[in-house]
């Protein structure tokens, strides 16, 4: 049975190549061309034709169209060579690779988009020695190149071919570049030379690599070189397939989580328990109106993004929400205007308290320095004395005289430093410290702050609040508490 390749018409100009060749006819690709003959030369831009292989090409040049039509009418074989650069429009001898293939025109197809497709069949390798004519198309002198083909009993070569076949099947399985039906064709090719050439032609190698393969006279060496390229391409294809699989799994997981979250949102809306997104949006809008520096704003936005990623049922959600609400509720940049009229201050102090001359004098002295200097870092005055002498109420009078907000925090019985500094965010139900809460309650950043009963602070296994108070009372640190 002879080796025959047929063109099957599937309708609507959809053509496919089929074969019923069993590989036993060694003369299947003999040509009626001899070395030294002059043949029409068809230059291809990015394609390489191998012996025995069908190659559909789209012909665009007018000279190439005339060439294929003349050759088809005369049933004449042509020389098919590849250009060194695909951008050359009018190639000369130096613009062409000198190794090519004798090509036979199987069919010319006029396509619906007004283009012309030519089905070529590679027959035998050739060397283009010279260009004889350039008009109306290229004609050149050729030399036929003989193939050094190992015998059928060469087991090493047969094993080499089988290895190439197996690697090609792996490549087709891993890569989405080649159609899966190509594996069927490869399984049914029995001729070793045609199998190697078929793989060289159909796998998406670079043009220069295909030219290197075509230029090798020994089929054994060509197969070895093909094996090296296949090993590289298979590894790349399998790595790429693995990456795509992992990416697809990640995307599937993200989509699954998204759909579940949308379902939860829908259920919450039906039950009237939604509003999470609205609450976050309100916080974002409120943050945009705050007089924050860049560092505080960046911190808030990062924490808000973390809240959006946290599930509402998570214990961390309420802690994160409380933290952000505390940031928003703090009186950033809100200060009351001081009334530094010393006569008015003295009048207010005398109205509320009788006696205490030394104490009033010290307070008025402090206000005078504040008026002259204009700024004092969190000044601290310690009032001490027995119960009932007016220490706490005197602080209220100072706030009234200065027209500042008044905040009182009793430290009697406090034994946990978290009451001063606040709890860590890692704790469930973490809350800000009492100082921060008092500032929020005051609504201003410069209130008169009374730490009452400071001598009643106690320490236990949870910590020593008096040590935490050092940071609050130290003028070098408390400005950034």
Domain with CATH 2.30.130.40 in the chain: 1-146
What is the rounded CA–CA span in Å between residue 112 and residue 11? 13
Q: In this predicted structure, what is the pLDDT of residue 223?
A: 94
What pTM, to 2 d.p., does this model score? 0.51
Question: 356 with 394: CB under 8 angstroms?
Answer: yes
The answer to whether the Cα torsion of 28, 32, 38, 40 is positive or negative is negative
What is the rounded CA–CA span in Å between residue 170 and residue 162? 12
Q: In this predicted structure, what is the pLDDT of residue 453?
A: 78
Top-tier CATH class for 147-272: mainly alpha
Dihedral angle of Cα 156, 162, 168, 174, to the nearest 10 degrees: -110
> Which letter does DSSP use for residue 105 in this model?
E
Tokens matching residue 166 = 């197996």
What is the rounded CA–CA span in Å between residue 276 and residue 326? 18
Tokens matching residue 57 = 């090409």
Side-chain half-sphere of 424: how many Cα atoms within 13 Å?
A: 2
> Which letter does DSSP use for residue 292 in this model?
-
Q: What is the mean pLDDT of residues 176-202?
A: 82
Fold held by 1-146: 2.30.130
Q: What is the mean pLDDT of residues 47-60?
A: 90
1-15, 34-48, 75-89, 286-300: the lowest-pLDDT one: 1-15
What is the rounded CA–CA span in Å between residue 370 and residue 362? 12
Domain with CATH 1.20.58.1480 in the chain: 147-272
56-60, 81-85, 342-346: the lowest-pLDDT one: 342-346
What is the rounded CA–CA span in Å between residue 380 and residue 456? 19
Q: In this predicted structure, what is the pLDDT of residue 144?
A: 93
Q: What is the mean pLDDT of residues 101-127?
A: 91
Q: In this predicted structure, what is the pLDDT of residue 377?
A: 61
Better-predicted residue by pLDDT, 346 or 272:
346
**Residue 25 pLDDT more than 70?**
no
Tokens matching residue 73 = 């009418």
pLDDT tens per residue, range 325-335:
777 777 777 77
**Residue 35 pLDDT more than 70?**
yes
Q: In this predicted structure, what is the pLDDT of residue 22?
A: 44
- Residue 479: pLDDT band with limits 50, 70, 90: low
Side-chain half-sphere of 252: how many Cα atoms within 13 Å?
A: 6
Q: In this predicted structure, what is the pLDDT of residue 5?
A: 42
Q: In this predicted structure, what is the pLDDT of residue 7?
A: 43
Q: In this predicted structure, what is the pLDDT of residue 20?
A: 42
The architecture in CATH of the region 342-480 reads 3-Layer(aba) Sandwich (3.40)
CB neighbour burial string for 185-216, b if at least 16 within 10 angstroms, e if fewer? ebeebebbbbbbbbbbbbbebebebbbbbbeb
Which segments of 175-218 does DSSP mark as H helices, in order?
Answer: 182-187, 192-202, 207-215
- Residue 140: pLDDT band with limits 50, 70, 90: very high
Better-predicted residue by pLDDT, 481 or 70:
70
| Total length of the chain | 481
What is the rounded CA–CA span in Å between residue 420 and residue 411? 9
Top mean pLDDT of 7-11, 212-216, 290-294, 369-373 is at 212-216
The answer to whether the Cα torsion of 411, 408, 477, 360 is positive or negative is negative
- Residue 13: pLDDT band with limits 50, 70, 90: very low
Domain with CATH 3.40.50.300 in the chain: 342-480
pLDDT tens per residue, range 408-449:
877 777 766 666 666 666 666 566 677 777 777 777 777 777
Tokens matching residue 146 = 């003989």
**Residue 11 pLDDT more than 80?**
no
Question: 157 with 223: CB under 8 angstroms?
Answer: yes
> What is the residue-averaged pLDDT of the chain?
79
Better-predicted residue by pLDDT, 171 or 359:
171
Percent of the chain with pLDDT over 70: 83
pLDDT tens per residue, range 242-271:
888 888 888 888 888 888 877 777 776 666
pLDDT tens per residue, range 268-285:
666 654 566 777 778 788
Percent of the chain with pLDDT over 90: 22
What is the rounded CA–CA span in Å between residue 169 and residue 231? 12
């Amino acid at each position: 049975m002879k080796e025959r390749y047929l063109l099957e018409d599937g309708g609507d100009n959809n053509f496919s190549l089929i074969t019923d060749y069993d590989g036993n006819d060694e003369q299947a690709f003999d040509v009626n061309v001899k070395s030294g003959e002059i043949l029409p030369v068809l230059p291809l831009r990015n394609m390489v034709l191998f012996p025995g292989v069908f190659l559909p090409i789209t012909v665009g040049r007018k000279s190439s169209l005339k060439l294929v039509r003349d050759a088809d009418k005369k049933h004449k074989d042509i020389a098919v060579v590849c250009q060194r650069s695909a951008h050359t429009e009018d190639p000369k001898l130096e613009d062409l690779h000198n190794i090519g293939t004798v090509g036979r025109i199987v069919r010319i197809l006029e396509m619906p988009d007004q283009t012309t497709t030519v089905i070529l069949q590679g027959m035998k390798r050739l060397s283009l020695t010279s260009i004889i004519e350039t008009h109306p198309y290229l004609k050149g002198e050729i030399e036929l190149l003989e193939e050094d083909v190992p015998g059928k009993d060469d087991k090493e070569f047969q094993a080499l071919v089988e290895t190439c076949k197996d690697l090609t099947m792996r490549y087709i399985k891993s890569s989405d570049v080649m159609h899966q039906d190509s594996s069927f064709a490869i399984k049914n090719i029995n001729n070793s030379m045609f199998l190697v050439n078929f793989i060289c032609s159909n796998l998406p190698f670079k043009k220069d690599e295909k030219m290197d393969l075509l230029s090798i006279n020994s089929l054994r060496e060509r197969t070895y070189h093909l094996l090296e390229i296949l090993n590289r391409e298979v590894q790349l294809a399998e790595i790429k397939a693995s990456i795509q699989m992992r990416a697809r799994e990640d995307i599937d997981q993200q989509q699954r989580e998204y759909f579940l979250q949308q379902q939860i949102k829908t259920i919450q809306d039906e039950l009237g328990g939604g509003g999470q997104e609205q609450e976050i949006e309100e916080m974002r809008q409120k943050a945009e109106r705050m007089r924050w520096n860049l560092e505080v704003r960046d911190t808030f936005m990062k924490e808000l993004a973390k809240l959006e990623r946290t599930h509402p049922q998570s214990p961390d959600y309420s802690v994160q929400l409380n933290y952000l609400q505390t940031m928003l509720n703090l009186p950033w940049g809100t200060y009351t205007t001081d009334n530094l009229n010393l006569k008015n201050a003295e009048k207010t102090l005398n109205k509320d308290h009788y006696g205490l001359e030394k104490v009033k004098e010290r307070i008025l002295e402090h206000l005078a320095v504040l008026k002259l200097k204009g700024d004092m870092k969190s000044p601290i005055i310690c009032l001490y004395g027995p119960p009932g002498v007016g220490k706490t109420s005197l602080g209220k009078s100072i706030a009234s005289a200065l027209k500042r907000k008044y905040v009182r925090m009793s430290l009697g019985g406090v034994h946990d430093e978290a009451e001063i500094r606040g709890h860590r965010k890692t704790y469930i139900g973490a809350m800000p410290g009492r100082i921060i809460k008092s500032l929020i309650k005051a609504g201003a950043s410069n209130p008169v702050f009374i730490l009452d009963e400071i001598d009643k602070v106690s320490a236990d296994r949870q910590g020593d609040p008096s040590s935490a108070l050092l940071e609050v009372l130290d003028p070098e640190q408390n400005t950034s508490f």
